[in-house]
Amino acid sequence: MDYSVFTAWATIVAALAAIIAVLIAAYAIWIEGKRTRFSQGLDVLLRLTDEFNSELYREKRRTVAKILLKKIDGHITINDTENLVNMGEDILDHFQEVGLLLRMKILNVKLVYSDYYYWLSRYWECLKDIFAKSREADPFIWEDAEWLYKKIIGQEKGLLSKRVVTKLTASEIKDFLGYESTLK
């Protein structure tokens, strides 16, 4: 019996086993990397949500909502307008950060949709005048917030395939602002 043939086959089998082992290890590392990125993204999203629901942001949201309700009723002052712009910009800045992290694929779109659709869709509608005015001076301001809004609205449309997504009504906006104005 020729042992060189046997040795050649054994070498081939060993090489194939080594290649398969390397592929399995690479796949396991890839899966673990995905799991780690998801876990880290979830942690970041929870911190962002905590920030948005922090006492500081609840105060900003409450103040913005109260001023917007005054604006709807036609009783807004110059001081109110300045506060609205300053605190409204802070809210848009928060959405800018979420949008940037989502665009960089640090956050998961479905989780962001779940956590932010309600507030983003309503604040975007309420703060669109501030957004438009700021865009006149800087056409790139809050571009990640705008991208986030479009992405989240796209998610909503995808989930509501049988229903038409409608624009928020004045009544829905007023109800939202009424709720936000009572945040503790």
CA-CA distance, 106 to 44, in Å (whole number)? Answer: 8
129 within a domain of the structure (yes/no): yes
154 within a domain of the structure (yes/no): yes
Per-block average pLDDT, block size 10, for the chain (184 residues)? Answer: 80 91 89 84 93 95 94 86 90 96 94 92 91 90 93 76 64 92 90
Domain count, the chain: 1
CA-CA distance, 65 to 78, in Å (whole number)? Answer: 16
175 within a domain of the structure (yes/no): yes
Residue with the two structure tokens 């409450």: 62
CA-CA distance, 77 to 72, in Å (whole number)? Answer: 12
- Look up the domain containing 165 and give its range: 45-180
137 within a domain of the structure (yes/no): yes
Of 84, 55, 59, the C-alpha closest to 69 is 84
Q: What is the pLDDT of residue 160?
A: 58
7 within a domain of the structure (yes/no): no
Residue 172's CB: how many other CB atoms inside 10 A? 14
3 within a domain of the structure (yes/no): no
Q: What is the pLDDT of residue 158?
A: 67
- CA dist 37 to 20, 25, 34, Å? 26, 18, 5
CA-CA distance, 141 to 130, in Å (whole number)? Answer: 11
Largest distance between two CA atoms of the chain = 102
Q: What is the pLDDT of residue 167?
A: 75
> What b/e readout covers 69-97, taking b as 16+ CB neighbours within 10 angstroms?
bbbeeeebeeebeebbbebbbebbebbbb
Note the pTM of the prediction, 2 decimals.
0.79
Q: What is the pLDDT of residue 55?
A: 95
CB 59 within 8 Å of CB 98: no
166 within a domain of the structure (yes/no): yes
19 within a domain of the structure (yes/no): no
- Both tokens of 92, joined, read 């848009």
- What angle (nearest 5°) sits at the alpha carbon of residue 52, between those of residues 86 and 119? 85
Chain centroid offset of residue 166 CA:
21
